[in-house]
Amino acid sequence: MTPQDAFNRIIESLQVKYYRAAIREVLKPVELNGSIEPRNILVQVKSGNFYGERDFTKIEKGCFYFMPVGSPIYFRHGKSAKYPAFGKEGFASPELREQYVKSRLLKEGYDDTRDIFTIAGFDVHIYGAIPFFSILELPCFVIPYDEEMSYLMEALVSEEENKRLGRERLQRNLAEELVVHICRYISNKPQYEKNFEKINYLLDKRLVNIIQYIQSNLGGDLSNQTIAQLAYVSKDYIGQFFKTMTNANLQDYIENQRLEKAHYLLRTTKDNVQEIAHNIGFKDPAYFSRRFKMKFNKNANQIRKESIITI
């Protein structure tokens, strides 16, 4: 199987979860220096001064800046001789972010004298489980102007603002198309060839069985012995097998999936925190609270109130 064929098969397996799109206007220049976002972020420069990548290269009007989940973000809003800089945690709260950028409506149009960008956030998982761009370990990078991508970003913002019938379905489809365009771009870049080396591993049927079983049984027995039976390997080898395939520790991966599921349920259901924790496999509520706070830097009750995109 050629790398292109493997990539096509992986794209077919991707599940995209759209979060939000918006237009932002810069109020004061600011720099994100090594910030980490919990999901993939795509920005398009509409006007003004923006700089990205490690050397803070200027991002031209109409171009995109893609920030894969987990990758350190280097991004300057506006123009200044000296930028106030935010590190790993980025803007600690929506209130802090709003000191530097504000939301802007599509009907207001764009103003070439101001620093304005559109932004969209989304998750992308292989088999609904493995974070796709995390596996590729890509840095943040600029994508040249693309007419179709520009249309998709504008359509996402329009649907976000107008709240018309079928909005969520359309937004999901639009986000999926954006992801395909990003994949097309990176697949043609020789500098990213090494990032695709693990793609063939991800097509292994044994790995698929393991991932699907974990997703369907987060509240059940997910010991190494149980998982090993799915891959027809010994319980002593299953951890090494999973690590080779995904670059992740098996039990760490299982706990991470449980925490991600808890995060999702907190935002989409009214179940209490203890009930959610128990149903996704945490028998000790105190341990769940510690691990949840460690992963998301917020407790479970705060998550129910948080703003989704912080850039």
H/E element holding 244? helix 238-246
> Helix (H, G, I), strand (E, B), or coil: what is residue 26?
strand
Task: Report the alpha-carbon distance of residue 279 to residue 306 in Å, rounded.
Answer: 23
The CATH homologous superfamily to which domain 3-196 belongs is Regulatory protein AraC (2.60.120.280)
Task: Report the alpha-carbon distance of residue 223 to residue 234 in Å, rounded.
Answer: 12
Low-confidence ranges of the chain (pLDDT < 50): 307-308
Q: How many CB atoms lie within 10 A of CB 272?
A: 11
Q: What pLDDT shows up at residue 212?
A: 82
For the chain, give every domain's residue range: 3-196, 204-303
The DSSP-derived string for 147-170 is: HHHHHHHHHHHHHHHH--TTHHHH
For the chain, give the longest Cα–Cα distance.
64
Q: What pLDDT shows up at residue 92?
A: 78
**What's the length of the chain?**
311
Of 161, 75, 165, 153, residue with least CA distance to 115? 75
- Find out whether 142 and 53 touch, Cβ atoms under 8 Å: yes
CATH class of 204-303: mainly alpha
The residue assigned the tokens 């994949």 is: 183
> What residues contact residue 273 under an 8 Å CB cut-off, 6+ apart?
266, 285, 289, 300, 301
The residue assigned the tokens 């830097």 is: 297
> What residues contact residue 279 under an 8 Å CB cut-off, 6+ apart?
219, 271
Strand partners, 125: 15, 131
Q: What pLDDT shows up at residue 307?
A: 46
Q: Is 78 left (phi over 0), alpha (psi -120 to 50) or beta?
A: left
The residue assigned the tokens 């249309």 is: 151
